[in-house]
Structure 1
Amino acid sequence: MRRHMERQDSPPLVRPLHAPAGMSGANAVQGTPAATPVALPRIDNLRRRVPCSETRLEEDVLAAILTSGDGTPLEALTHWRCMAALPFAGLYRSIDFALSNCTNSGIRRVGVATQYKAHSLIQHLRDGWSRLWPGSGESIELWPAQRCRNHDCYRGTADTAYQNIHVIREHAPTELLVLAGNHLCRMNYARLIDEHRRRAADVTLAYMELPLADAGQYGILSTDTDHWVRTFAEKPPAAANGHGTAERALVSLGVYVFDTNSLIDLLRKDASDPGSWHDFGHDILPAALAAGLRVLGLPFRDAATDDAGYCRDVSTVDGYWLANMELLAERPRLDLHDPAWPIWTPLSQLPPARFSGRGVARESIVCAGCEIIGEVRHSVLSVGCEVGAHTVIEDSVILTNVRIGRGCRIRRAIVDAECAIPDGTVIDAESPLTPPSYASPSGIVLFALPPAGESGDSARRQAP
């Protein structure tokens, strides 16, 4: 049934839906088919369409994207990939959001710190994000751990920056922008940096307001009326935000702008502290406040709409499922179709989705290369999936190249990539599940098969 479909060795970096204005055939990548996707625009072209800084951020700012978490909360989804390489919305990888925000903000010098299960992330960066212009000082660099003794590679997020101090000093940025590789949001970093400079801050962080019950996985801060941070605690058991509304909290998004010299001083002191966790939130931010540095907090606003920002951390099964489901709203807060702030990703050369027989999809995202004969309801189907006749998929996320047989029922589930599901299979919270598959406390099923082999090959795996 399936046709073997290969993608280009080196597909161009594109935005999948809307071509940026002003791009001509001269910008196309040579050697691609006639329907060549649009290449990434130069900074000057992009600034005509999105609100960016008046200063030359590509020369003054270096972004560091941290991807070194081990992915434990996501269990089987991170057997062979780090969280930054996790597929999202059928087409993207999590890291595409931080990289696109950098591109759209005019920041073109980026270091990506890699450690845990980095192979698929490196492939993604090589295939789609290597087409900047090094001759203009624009680049994406990989920063592997510089020491790995006794499994003590990157000991924490701050140690990631500390081990790359020599790289940071070579770039000589005025500010270092620190980002997480698994946060889904549209943020104009140029606005953050402009305010950091205007207020003469040493450190600036982005925050948003959440119900206190949802704030346990974040750093919680309090600010004065001028937005200067007065207290900061990383993932406290209970806290109030200091504004008299104990039901809600101000939470850090893990987006920091540091004066480079101030950061290097903080990192060196932290590296010599045997009691430190070597973490930005747990150690560096409290140390900055204790040292009397000027720490500014700014509320996160959406880059395109200027409304209160939407941000999701997809480091848990429930969070990952919910972030995908929220895309299916009539007017999603994270609107991937909005040309005002494009999210970029490399595209595979695949045929369009095809619906045969009684195949139908309602309130769903169905990506290229899919063949649908069954019914898809309120779900996300990634590239290259097959859905057999009389199968019903509901409220689910199906990752890349999954083959689902006839007469199956899948509800409120995440199905890992490259699975082959036999005819008549039922996957829901009431179904018997074999590890590594399991159901979360809220009833979301993560369906995955044991790894294909210690080599991590991606051959299609057959469910029992």
Structure 2
Amino acid sequence: MINDKVLAIIMGGGQGSRLYPLTATRSKPAVPIAGKYRLVDIPISNCINSDIKRMFVLTQFNSASLNTHIKNTYHFSFFSSAFVDVLAAEQTLQNNTWFQGTADAVRQSMHHFLNHDFEYALILSGDQLYQMDYNTMLEAHIASDAKISIATLPVSEKDATSFGILKTDESNLVTSFIEKPKTELLKDWTSPVSEEMEVEGRNHLASMGIYIFNKDLLVELMNDPETVDFGKEIIPQNIKKHKTLSYQFEGYWTDIGNIDSFFEANLGLTDDIPKFDLYNSSKRIYTHARLLPTTKISGTILNKAVIADGCLITAAKIERSVIGIRSRIGSGTTVSNTYMMGSDSYQTLEDLEQRDTKIPMGIGENCSINNAILDKNCCIGNNVKINGSAQLEEKETDTYFIKEGIVVVKKGAIIPDGYEI
């Protein structure tokens, strides 16, 4: 089988500063999404659904919670060669530095990869939301006799300035590459796309940061320590030296590397027909099986709400919001346009008595929460008002952070009764 010849390498990203404060105590792939999953579950699930079951996740910042999540989640048969391993940056006799970029991370970890038999390296990003069958990309790679394949997304002229743009010929072979081109250059950077994409004005091919390399070429390219990044150096320098295929993907895909895109991607799950389909059994998203009780809701008006397991809700209204595992929301409270991540555990009365504050985890009574992200284990008192809007200036305190009009309440933050943001 082709899948047996593939090794997946998932890039965990750097410090994740664009997702701060969600990355203050955890690596980017460990950030919770959709109320019950982690970002890293997306590429891992895509691999499992594609029957690719040998995966490495490369990371270097705040990797403890990611390690714990992967260790507790991805268990394969004792008789299987399948695995998901986390590789953090490590000092060796040959190297004593942090990962300097995506290519450098692969270079420093190559000795681990070479302990396994593979012909193709599938390199993935750990901070994207999409569902893809990697087999079709792999089959196209092999059929074209390419050395490198790049997954590309047809985008409009408006969006093209935010991506690395590839130009291809009629055979989908890449002929040139430009990083975040200016608008006036785009007329020369269109490529052949499907009729449907052409009708939508999506004539530019953006790199999705998903690559397939033949093993021999990847090993050769990793011998040059001066190249540290795939998107900025490896790809531009090699598309004319080695046959490079563009694999066009026309499904839903979004890079959720900043607070705004992360927020919109999560709230998008509340749409009547969401672009990201959590309910397709052939594209199942896997995560830690927590065996939580069912959610209990009393007297609450729900409209476009996604509610995870184990919640206790007596709110007045929840609208266009994602409510994470073990969330507690008190009576009289209204929650709208909000992603509440939930809690890591339930509190007992004894636990609460031992705390400095008597405000329990969750949202109290008679609160109004709008345009907000509530990180894990937040304790929000009664009569609290949080209203994010574009008029709010960017600001950071010990308990919250305002960015792009979104109020992000930090993990474990305590917001006292009557507080207003």
TM tier relative to shorter chain: 0.7 to 0.9
Aligned residue for 1:382?
324
C-alpha distance after superposition, 1:367-415 (max 9, x if no partner): 1111111121110000011111111000110012251011111111111
Paired residues of 1:360 and 1:372 also in contact (CA < 8 A): no
Bigger mean CA deviation after superposition, 112-121 or 228-237: 228-237
Structure 1 residues 231-310: aligned runs within 5 Å: 231-238=176-183, 239-240=185-186, 241-243=189-191, 249-269=204-224, 271=225, 273=226, 276=227, 278-290=228-240, 292-300=241-249, 308-310=250-252
TM normalised by structure 1 equals 0.78
* Aligned: 1:422 with 2:374: no
Paired residues of 1:377 and 1:394 also in contact (CA < 8 A): yes
Paired residues of 2:49 and 2:282 also in contact (CA < 8 A): no
Aligned residue for 2:86?
142
Aligned residue for 1:447?
409
Structure 1 residues 88-237: aligned runs within 5 Å: 88-129=33-74, 131-133=75-77, 135-147=79-91, 152-237=97-182
Paired residues of 1:221 and 1:229 also in contact (CA < 8 A): yes
Bigger mean CA deviation after superposition, 146-155 or 185-194: 146-155
C-alpha distance after superposition, 1:261-313 (max 9, x if no partner): 111111212x1x2xx4x1100011012124x200000111xxxxxxx210111
The residue matched to 1:251 in structure 2 has which SS?
strand
Cα distance in 1 for partners of 2:98, 2:328 equals 40
* Aligned: 1:81 with 2:26: yes
Cα distance in 2 for partners of 1:84, 1:174 equals 26
Aligned residue for 1:42?
none
Cα distance in 2 for partners of 1:134, 1:198 equals 34
Aligned residue for 1:340?
282
Cα distance in 1 for partners of 2:82, 2:364 equals 47
TM normalised by structure 2 equals 0.86
Cα distance in 1 for partners of 2:154, 2:191 equals 11
Bigger mean CA deviation after superposition, 251-260 or 224-233: 224-233
Partner amino acid for 2:22? L
Aligned residue for 2:351?
none
Structure 1 segments unaligned to the other structure (5+ residues): 1-54, 301-307, 450-459
The residue matched to 2:20 in structure 1 has which SS?
helix
Partner amino acid for 2:64? H
Cα distance in 2 for partners of 1:462, 1:413 equals 15
Aligned residue for 2:352?
none
The residue matched to 2:223 in structure 1 has which SS?
helix
Cα distance in 1 for partners of 2:180, 2:273 equals 32
Percent identical pairs in the alignment equals 29
The Cα of 1:152 is off from its aligned counterpart by: 3.2
Cα distance in 1 for partners of 2:153, 2:68 equals 33
The Cα of 1:148 is off from its aligned counterpart by: 8.0
Partner amino acid for 1:429? G
Residues 144 and 107 of structure 1: is their aligned pair in 2 closer, same or farther, counting only changes over 3 Å? same
C-alpha distance after superposition, 1:307-356 (max 9, x if no partner): x2101111111100110111111111211011121111112122111112
Aligned residue for 2:254?
312
Paired residues of 1:233 and 1:282 also in contact (CA < 8 A): no
The Cα of 1:134 is off from its aligned counterpart by: 5.2
Cα distance in 1 for partners of 2:17, 2:33 equals 18
* Aligned: 1:64 with 2:16: no
The Cα of 1:236 is off from its aligned counterpart by: 4.2
Partner amino acid for 2:244? V
Partner amino acid for 2:243? R
Partner amino acid for 2:287? T
The residue matched to 2:222 in structure 1 has which SS?
helix
How many residues in Structure 1 have an aligned counterpart in Structure 2?
383
Residues 237 and 446 of structure 1: is their aligned pair in 2 closer, same or farther, counting only changes over 3 Å? farther
Paired residues of 1:68 and 1:154 also in contact (CA < 8 A): no
Aligned residue for 1:330?
272
Partner amino acid for 1:204? S
RMSD: 2.2
Cα distance in 1 for partners of 2:396, 2:232 equals 37
Paired residues of 2:58 and 2:105 also in contact (CA < 8 A): yes
The residue matched to 2:309 in structure 1 has which SS?
coil
Residues 355 and 136 of structure 1: is their aligned pair in 2 closer, same or farther, counting only changes over 3 Å? closer
Bigger mean CA deviation after superposition, 171-180 or 230-239: 230-239
Partner amino acid for 1:299? Q
The Cα of 1:121 is off from its aligned counterpart by: 0.8
Structure 2 segments unaligned to the other structure (5+ residues): 193-197, 344-360, 417-421
Cα distance in 1 for partners of 2:52, 2:128 equals 18
Cα distance in 1 for partners of 2:202, 2:282 equals 34
The Cα of 1:434 is off from its aligned counterpart by: 4.8
Partner amino acid for 1:345? T
* Aligned: 1:363 with 2:304: yes
Cα distance in 2 for partners of 1:133, 1:234 equals 43
Partner amino acid for 2:378? C
C-alpha distance after superposition, 1:220-263 (max 9, x if no partner): 11111111011123344555233499985311111100001111
Aligned residue for 1:404?
363
Paired residues of 1:178 and 1:257 also in contact (CA < 8 A): yes
Residues 263 and 151 of structure 1: is their aligned pair in 2 closer, same or farther, counting only changes over 3 Å? closer
Aligned residue for 2:346?
none
The residue matched to 2:107 in structure 1 has which SS?
helix
